[in-house]
Structures are given as structure tokens and as C-alpha cells.
Amino acid sequence: MKLSTATVPAFLSLLVAAAPPAPKFNDVTLDIVNAPLAPDGFTRSTVSANGQFPGPLIRATKGDTLRVKTNNKLTDPTMRRSTTLDFDGIFFDTPNAFNEGTPFVTTCPIGPGASYTYVLPLGQQTGTYWYHSQLSMQYADGLRGPLIIYDPEDPQAHLYDVDDESTIWFISDWWHNATLSLLESYNFNQIIPVSDSGLFNGRGRYNGGPETEYAVSTVTTGKRYRFRIINASARSDFTISVDNHTLSVIGVDGVPVNPHTVSVIDALAGQRYDVVLTADQPIGNYWINTVLGGGAPRHNLNLNVTFGRGVLHYDGAPDAEPTGPMTLGPQPGDPARILLNEWELTPLFPVAPPPADIELTFLTSMTPNASSPSGFDSKWNINNISYVSPLVPTLVKILDGDDSKTEDTFILPANKVIQVTFPPSTEDELHPFHLHGNNFWVIKSNGSDTINEVNPIRRDVSGAGAGGTILRFTTDRPGPWFFHCHIFWHMNAGLAAVLATGVNETRHAVHPTGAWDDLCDAYNALPAELQ
């Protein structure tokens, strides 16, 4: 049938109305450079985004498509000169798996002098995330920063008055020495180097160092503040509290939860918590206690765990440090101590996890190197296998139809429900396990015997240790996803696996760009000292 000229405009308008909205691109440029920085008063060369620590905030809105142009300008030979970026907690649908950023799993690193643009359609995700280098121990050299996805229609907006760049609490451990030498030492003796300091929003102090100014969070009496806590550590957990104040937890790892009031939060490496603090105390200055755990200070005399902190400053108070002592926060036996227990959190929008189709048991262990007379050069294992990065990224092998593997890879079918159980162990370790590209239901938390298959929380980092942990997730996003301990020293010693879900679906759905294809050729052509 031939359309009349009168009909054409109406017909076209229907097509326009039916078309999906064009993506809103959010362009960010990060220059990865070596910069001399002194966050705790000690100047050292760093690997940094745009020459700063923490790296610049990547601010996005629900529905954005992020395009993060990453220019590698690294030159310092004492640290890795190639790099990658991982966006912790961001989902990656299968066609976009090649932008996920895990070296030798979904991509090759970006060599010095090269650039790559990561494209991240954010879909309906909102909440608190962060980015960091995933290559070796490089993010402990400084390459880490916040990524926040704001929701213009936030269902929790009635709980707070202020939520902006000033309400991000970026917490991290910090080393004075470059990590190449530290990693070499760790690989030999399996003693994790103890950090020199803990930092709150890029500020801190160490024993014998200068009295650098602490970072300040300013509040106004009567207002409620959504503070977004990011533990961007390479090793350490942090015990977080604010003198004379309580914290209402409303989000974990980007997922909203029902308000849960506590006074103490123990955040493992890689975990994020959104909390609401009400400025309801007398005008003054109060310590924000971020007490670093992980390694005895006697192993590094620079470390003073009470020096990693910030200041909650009320408008109208003197511009001065709090007059009260630097404590470790409320301790056991103190009526003011209300500790956050992960299993007590409930999701704002509960989704009961489906029954598991496949059950995996992951046993973590450390085995010494039998060829070493000292027993050093040990490796961490999952089910007696230590992860070793392949020379060819797992995704490349999948796309090439190569089924060989040298790494600890679990082949899982698409569109199934997978349960991973970490049984109780005798290890004196709590491993914060992180799943890339997805998140999981926490069916059983390490500190509780409760099995919750009705309304468990979802998150992407949870601790596995002596108490046993059960996690469940779906494989509705096929791809090779890294699953690892977020203590990066452990990860680099093999405590990781690849969950390769839906290999055939991945092969048919992923069509990488030429720029991605070029990364491996360029990286493999580099001399070893530039990789």
C-alpha cells in the first residue's frame, strides 16, 4: 500500500515514539601518570589518575553510558608501566564483556603511551562504586578513585538532606614503598607488607611524620547526610565510627537496604556502605574513627592505627581538631557500641533467590613451595589450585574457540543459579571475596549460622573465613568473570578463579572493537620492563 503524503508525518511520529531513548553519554578522561604525592606527609612517586589521590570522582546518573578514556602516560621504572581499569560493582552485560577491564581475563593491559576508552552502559544501576587498577598490585601505588551513580528518583531520598561530592568517605591503606619490590618480598616469604598508614579521603599520618591536616567533613546542625563509605584498601579492613553519633546503613555495595542503625561498621577491602548521619550533637568537632586492621603495627613501626581518621566539623565550630582523644571507637562492653552484622541487613526490594541448580564448594588454603628449603614462596589456592594468569586472556581464548586453560577456571552453563559454599575453616584469615560483572545473594554470612533464602541482601564483596559463607548468583550475564580475594596480596598469590559462564553464548554475543583487539598485540610487543 502506498502511503499518502498526509499519512507520512503521523507514521514517522509513531516510529519516533516507539524508538528507545538515545543513550546519554557521560565522557570522562583519566590520564594515568606518575606523580609525586604525600597524602600522609611522606612524598613518594605514585601511579595516579590525573595526578591526584584519590583519583577524581566519576559522577554519573542512572541510565548514563560512561565512556572513560584512559591515557597511559606512565614512565617510572620502579612500578608497572602498563595499566588497566576495573570498575568495582558495575554489571557488564554479555555483549560488553570485553570492556570489563580484568587483565588476562577479559582484556590485555594498556601499554605506556597507549589509550583505551572503556564504555559502560549503566542501565538501572545506582549507588556507590569505585575504580582501580586491576594489574598486579598497582592500585596500592595510588590508582583508585570513587564512582557514584546518582538516582534522580531515589526511593530513599526522604531519609537524607545532603548527598554530594562532599559526602564521600574514601578510605584506604597506604604504603611508602613501590609495590613491585613489596610484591617480590611477599612472593618470597608470604608475609604481607604492613601499610605505613591509613588514609581518610586521601589524608593521614604516620609515626614520626609531620602533622598533616586531616580531611574534614562539614555538617550543619539538624541536617541529615548520606555518607558513602568506600573501603578502597589493597589489604586492610577498617572499623568505622563517629564519636557521639550513630550511623543508619541504607546501602551496601550499590544495593539499597532498609535503614539499620549502628555505631560501628567493620568494612572489608572492596566493600561499600551508604550511611545516614544526623547532625544532632552540640556544635563542635568530632573524630571520624577509621581504625585500620590487617597486620601488626610492630611489623611496620610507621603504622599507628589511630592516625587514620577524619574530622566531622559542625558549622559554627572552631576550625580545629577535636579536643577529645583519638580512640578506637566504641569497644566491646561499651553501651554505645552497636556493631553492624551483615546478616541483620534486609534489602529494600527483597528478591528471594531461586533454588541452586549447581553447587560448588570452594576450599581456600595455602601450600608451601616444596622446592624451597625455607618453605617460602607459598601459594594461595582454591580447591588446591592456585590461579595463574594465562598469557592469552580467557575471553580471547573463548572467542577463538580455544578450550585450553592454564588458570583456575570453572565452566558454568548460562541462565542457571550457582551456589558457592566456603565451608568453615581453621584458617586465621577472613577473605573478602569479590565477583566481577555481577553481584550475589549472601545466603549465609561468615559470622552467623543463619541460612537466609527468603530476603538475603545482595552485594559483590563478602567475607569468607572460619565461620563459613554461602553465596548464590545467576549466570544470566554470560562471560568470563573474575572471582577473587580483594586482599590483593592474596589475589596475586593465586587466591582467585575465573567463572566462565555460558561459553557458547559468550562466543556468539561478544563482538569486540578493533581498539580492544589492538590491546593484546601492542602489549605482547612490549619489552618485559614496560609491561
Q: Report yes or no: 267 and 231 within 8 Å, Cβ to Cβ.
A: yes
Strands (E) across 23-106 are located at 24-37, 44-49, 58-61, 64-72, 86-88
What is the per-residue pLDDT across 453-492, written as a single tens digit (0 to 9) for each? 999 999 999 999 999 999 999 999 999 999 999 999 999 9
For position 21, what pLDDT does the model report? 66
Least trusted range by pLDDT, from 20-29, 126-135, 219-228, 447-456: 20-29
Task: Find all residues with CB under 8 Å of 265, minimum gap 6, and list them.
Answer: 229, 239, 240, 241, 247, 249, 273, 275, 340
Among left, alpha and beta (phi > 0; psi -120 to 50; other), residue 34 is beta
CA distance 313 to 398: 53
Ramachandran angles phi, psi of 351, nearest 5°: -130, 115
> 424: which residues sit within 8 A by CB, 6+ positions away?
466, 467, 468
pLDDT at residue 16, rounded to an integer: 45
**Is the pLDDT score of 8 beyond 60?**
no
Residue tagged 612472593 (cell numbers): 187
Q: 116 forms bridges with which residues in the sheet?
A: 70
Q: Which fold, 18-156?
A: Immunoglobulin-like (2.60.40)
Q: Using 50, 70 and 90 to split pLDDT, how confident is the model at 374?
A: very low
**Strand, coil or helix: 16:** helix
Residue 139 binned pLDDT confidence (cut-offs 50, 70, 90)? very high
Is the pTM value of this prediction over 0.85? yes
Burial class (CB in 10 A: 0-12, 13-18, 19+), 292: buried
How many Å apart are CA 427 and CA 467, to the nearest integer?
10
**Which letter does DSSP use for residue 297 in this model?**
G
Mean pLDDT of 348-367: 95
Report which of 196, 206, 184, 233 is spatially closest to residue 79, judged by C-alpha positions. 184
CB 496 within 8 A of CB 482: yes
Q: What is the CA radius of gyration of the chain?
A: 23
Quick one: what percent of the chain has pLDDT higher than 70? Answer: 94
Instruction: Give the homologous superfamily in CATH for domain 358-524.
Output: Cupredoxins -  blue copper proteins (2.60.40.420)
In this structure, are residues 188 and 377 in contact, taking their beta carbons and an 8 Å threshold?
yes
Secondary structure E strands in 233-320: 237-242, 247-252, 255-262, 265-267, 272-278, 285-293, 309-314
Helix (H, G, I), strand (E, B) or coil at 6: coil
Note whether 494 and 109 are within 8 A (CB). Answer: no
pLDDT per residue as tens digits for the range 18-69: 555 677 999 999 999 999 999 999 999 999 999 999 999 999 999 999 999 9
pLDDT computed for residue 407 by the predictor: 73
Q: Which residues pair with 458 in a beta bridge?
A: 441
Any idea which fold 165-344 has? Immunoglobulin-like (2.60.40)
Q: What is the mean pLDDT of residues 487-504?
A: 96
pLDDT per residue over 180-189, tens digit each? Answer: 999 998 888 8
pLDDT at res. 19: 55
Domains of the chain, residue spans:
18-156, 165-344, 358-524
Q: Give dist(CA 198, CA 214) in Å, integer.
A: 12
The answer to whether 45 and 36 are in contact (CB under 8 A) is: yes
- Region at 161 (left for phi over 0; alpha for psi -120 to 50; beta for the rest): alpha
Residue 529: count other Cβ atoms within 10 Å of its Cβ. 8
The strand pairing partners of 251, in sequence order, are 256, 274
Confidence of residue 14 (pLDDT cuts 50, 70, 90): very low
Q: What is the band of 11 on the pLDDT scale with cuts at 50, 70, 90?
A: very low
pLDDT at 150: 98
When pLDDT is averaged across residues 95-121 and rounded to a whole number, the result is 98
Non-local CB neighbours of 318 within 8 Å, separated by 6+ positions: 285
Q: Which of 28, 54, 45 is nearest to 115 (CA)?
A: 28
> How confident is the model over 420-446, as a mean pLDDT?
95
Chain mean pLDDT for the chain: 93
